[in-house]
């Protein structure tokens, strides 16, 4: 019998047998995660990790539009604009540190975590779900890391995952923010199993009796179905040809010369993105390919995030997309060729006492 343990404006927490379920409850904001939500989820997961009555955790989102569209970037924008506290105490630094540690907690959790990536899953939503042990997608799933379009970069350890996608598909996704559906998410190793929307209602009861990875896996397989065919695998040839190594300027040149329709669409997206974000993102994903542990990506992501909030393009990108909504960001520099190695390197420097550490 399901029991509600907590219900507030942001989270719904329920118990059903061995199952504990956290539902992000901000459907009007596509369940965008706030600092308070990250703090509360961290406390719950830590409590349940040592609770012998808990066998499995389920993460999902309220409403039908999306699991989580990312972090509350409006709050980050307002905090960055105020600049009334030190860098260590500022909301962006505290939010990212808390969010990234929560993501790693999910990645390293001792008990099975099942994340339902139904509907829109972007940014922070990827961080909450794509590091879970079992990542469920549906026919409504649309997964993306579109941060280069707002002067940021694919953070939340996404580069660690994207760097391990087949060929150079991960680089393509990071530099374009292209949305992928269920089949592509499975082929890119961003998800594990496809469950039809109509069967999601059966998920809590299925998991309520599970106490091991084997039982969770078997339960999910009983609900699963084959998704529609993957699209990216059919475009792999031009993606690998255009994104397979070299400087960003070389990639742009190859895209210009490529006759594939998808290549021209990718080029159009990249023309509108922050030039600095594109170069920083490319450097980040190539670094992530060399990392042995996901924690290394989060340490690097934290450095980049703090550099972004102290710079120009991220604030300008939020202004153009969220605040004024004029969709006309004025990037600095505004050309890829003007983004020097020094500008890129600035995003990867140690942040001293603010360096992210994990227990």
Give the structural domain span for 349.
Answer: 3-354
What are phi and psi for residue 16, nearest 5 degrees? Answer: -150, 100
Residue 285 lies in a domain: yes
Residue 212 lies in a domain: yes
Residue 126 lies in a domain: yes
Task: Count how many domains the chain has.
Answer: 1
Q: Which of 60, 99, 147, 192 is catalytic?
A: 147
Q: Which of 61, 70, 71, 151 is catalytic?
A: 71
Active site residue 155: yes
Residue 359 lies in a domain: no
pLDDT score at 16: 96
The answer, yes or no, to whether the previous bond of 178 is cis (omega within 30 of 0) is: no
Residue 341 lies in a domain: yes
pLDDT score at 75: 87
The model's pTM is 0.96
pLDDT score at 88: 54
CA neighbours within 13 Å on the CB side: how many for 165? 30
68, containing H or E segment: strand 66-68
pLDDT, mean of each 10-residue run, the chain (359 residues): 79 97 96 96 97 97 96 87 63 95 98 98 98 98 97 98 97 98 96 98 97 97 94 94 96 96 96 98 98 98 96 96 95 97 98 92
Residue 108 lies in a domain: yes
What is the spatial distance between Cα 33 and Cα 99, in angstroms, rounded to a whole number?
Answer: 9
Active site residue 235: no
Residue 75 lies in a domain: yes
What is the spatial distance between Cα 143 and Cα 130, in angstroms, rounded to a whole number?
Answer: 10
Residue 282 lies in a domain: yes
For the domain that residue 22 is a member of, what is the CATH number? 3.90.226.10
Active site residue 78: no
Q: Is the dihedral of CA 282, 288, 289, 290 positive or negative?
A: positive
| Cβ-contact 267, 252 below 8 angstroms | yes
What is the spatial distance between Cα 355 and Cα 63, in angstroms, rounded to a whole number?
Answer: 37
Active site residue 147: yes
What is the spatial distance between Cα 238 and Cα 240, in angstroms, rounded to a whole number?
Answer: 5
SS (H, E, C) 42-70: HHHHHHHHCCCCCCEEEEEECCCCEEECC
């Amino acid at each position: 019998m399901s029991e509600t343990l907590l219900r507030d404006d942001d989270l719904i927490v329920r118990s059903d047998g061995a199952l504990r379920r956290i539902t992000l409850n901000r459907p009007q904001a596509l369940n965008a995660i706030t600092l308070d939500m990250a703090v509360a989820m961290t406390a719950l997961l830590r409590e349940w990790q040592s609770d012998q009555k808990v066998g499995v955790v389920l993460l999902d989102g309220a409403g039908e539009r999306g699991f989580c569209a990312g972090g509350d970037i409006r709050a980050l924008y307002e905090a960055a604009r105020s600049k009334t506290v030190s860098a260590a105490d500022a909301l962006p630094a505290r939010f990212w540190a808390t969010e990234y540690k929560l993501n790693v907690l999910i990645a390293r959790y001792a008990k099975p975590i099942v994340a339902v990536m139904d509907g829109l899953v972007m940014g922070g939503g990827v961080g909450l779900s794509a590091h879970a042990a079992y990542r469920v997608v549906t026919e409504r799933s649309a997964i993306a890391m579109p941060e280069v379009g707002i002067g940021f970069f694919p953070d939340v350890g996404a580069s660690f995952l994207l760097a391990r996608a087949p060929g150079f598909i991960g680089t393509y996704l990071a530099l374009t923010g292209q949305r992928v559906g269920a089949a592509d998410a499975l082929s890119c190793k961003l998800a594990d199993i496809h469950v039809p929307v109509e069967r999601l209602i059966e998920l809590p009861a299925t998991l309520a009796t599970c106490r091991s990875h084997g039982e969770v896996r078997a339960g999910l397989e009983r609900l699963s179905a084959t998704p529609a065919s993957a699209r990216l695998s059919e475009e792999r040839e031009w993606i690998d040809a255009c994104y397979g190594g070299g400087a960003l300027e070389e990639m742009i040149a190859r895209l210009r010369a490529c006759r594939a329709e998808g290549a021209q669409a990718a080029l159009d997206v990249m023309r509108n993105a922050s030039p600095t974000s594109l170069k920083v993102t490319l450097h980040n994903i190539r670094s992530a390919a060399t990392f042995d542990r996901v924690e290394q990506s989060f340490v690097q992501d934290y450095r980049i995030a703090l550099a972004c909030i102290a710079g120009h393009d991220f604030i300008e990108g939020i202004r153009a997309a969220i605040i004024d909504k004029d969709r006309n960001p004025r990037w600095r520099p505004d050309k890829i060729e003007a983004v020097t190695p020094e500008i890129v390197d600035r995003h990867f420097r140690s942040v001293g006492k603010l360096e992210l550490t994990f227990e």
